Amino acid sequence: MTLVKSLCAGIATASLTLVALSAAADEDDVKIVASFSILGDMVEEVVGDLATVTTIVGPDADAHVYDPSVADAKAVAEADIIFVNGLGFETWSDTLISESGTEASVHVATDGIKPVEVEGETDPHAWNSLSNGVIYVTNVADTMKQAMPEHADEIAANADAYIAKLEALDAETKAKLAELPENRRTVVTAHDAFGYLADAYGMTFLAPVGIDTEAEPSAQELAALIDQLKAEGAAALFVENITSPALVQQISDETGIEIGGRLFSDALSERGGPATSYLAMFQHNLSTLLDALTYEGAS
């Protein structure tokens, strides 16, 4: 965090004048910071063009191991409102926010969500259930309606329209995944990012790495997973957009289980990719799962 501390000290020395949101003279200047790309997209859907949204961890980047930049610290220092995921996801955010001297209000988008645990640790990837996505959006909308009461009706309308799309995709996901036979419901991903999807849609996800991508499996742990897969099988393996495919490829080589494609777990795709929004990400992941798990000849 040396870079962040140095920048924040410079910002404090420069005596930047931060104006509280409630006293902002021009609401068009409201500045919102979201911690990572999926959350940033949700916020943009809710506020539309009523505010400027800056995302700290961008597309195809790993928020677990992120090292904030000079630009990130400046954005936080100048923000009026900050949204974070919480549940231990952004291990760097508390330091970044506290040392920036920002006067922004900080809001946890996962408030009200029942956490899933993976091997005794809280799984922060709550957005991988669309019903949880509705809670994220509701929390963001409630915050913004209070912050911008003159635009409360427009914010509510944006949120309602967005939630309707999320709920429709949730129903579609449940219906399509429910059609999979039991022997096509176990898959392997690079790290434990899909516990909420598993719980919401009746799937089983195994992974060589836990909820934090910074961890690495021991040789013994990896061997145990490979032995388990040889004994019990899995329908498919999937690589992720934020992790190296090497571990998944090794598992495929040693078990003969095919790699079924790439899932987007912790971040959206770059522009031109298949997952440039939260909705598009979930649609892509659903299609990728179904393509691999319902191929012709699957038993």
> Who has greater pLDDT, 163 or 246?
163
Question: Beta strands of the chain (E only): which ranges?
Answer: 31-36, 52-57, 81-84, 105-108, 116-118, 121-123, 186-188, 204-206, 236-240, 259-263
Mean pLDDT of the chain: 89
| Predicted local confidence at residue 24, as pLDDT | 40
* pLDDT exceeds cutoff 60 at 56: yes
Higher per-residue pLDDT: 176 or 16: 176
Alpha carbons 79 and 34: distance in angstroms, whole number: 10
Domain residue spans of the chain:
2-171, 177-293
Predicted local distance difference test score (pLDDT) of residue 230: 92
- In angstroms, rounded to a whole number, what is the distance separating the alpha carbons of residues 123 and 63? 14
Query: Tens digit of pLDDT for each residue in 258-267?
Result: 999 999 999 9
Residue 75 has pLDDT above 80, yes or no: yes
- pLDDT tops 60 at residue 8: no
Confidence of residue 26 (pLDDT cuts 50, 70, 90): very low
DSSP one-letter string for 140-197? HHHHHHHH-GGGHHHHHHHHHHHHHHHHHHHHHHHHHHHTS-GGG-EEE-SBS--HHH
Does 2-171 match 177-293 in CATH topology? yes
CA distance 282 to 285: 5
Topology annotation, domain 2-171: Rossmann fold (3.40.50)
Quick check: 212 pLDDT over 80? no
- Superfamily for the 177-293 domain: Nitrogenase molybdenum iron protein domain (3.40.50.1980)
Mean pLDDT of 264-278: 97
pLDDT 10s digits, 108-164 = 999 999 999 988 889 999 999 999 999 999 999 999 999 999 999 999 999 999 999
Quickly state the pLDDT bin for 184 (edges 50, 70, 90).
very high
Q: Are 97 and 75 within 8 A, CB to CB? A: no
- Long-range pairs for 213-217: beta carbons < 8 A, 24 or more residues apart: 213/62, 213/64, 213/65, 213/242, 213/243, 213/266, 214/64, 214/65, 217/247
Per-residue confidence (pLDDT) for residue 92, from 0 to 100: 96
Whether 208 shows a pLDDT value over 90: the answer reads: no
pTM of the entire predicted model: 0.88
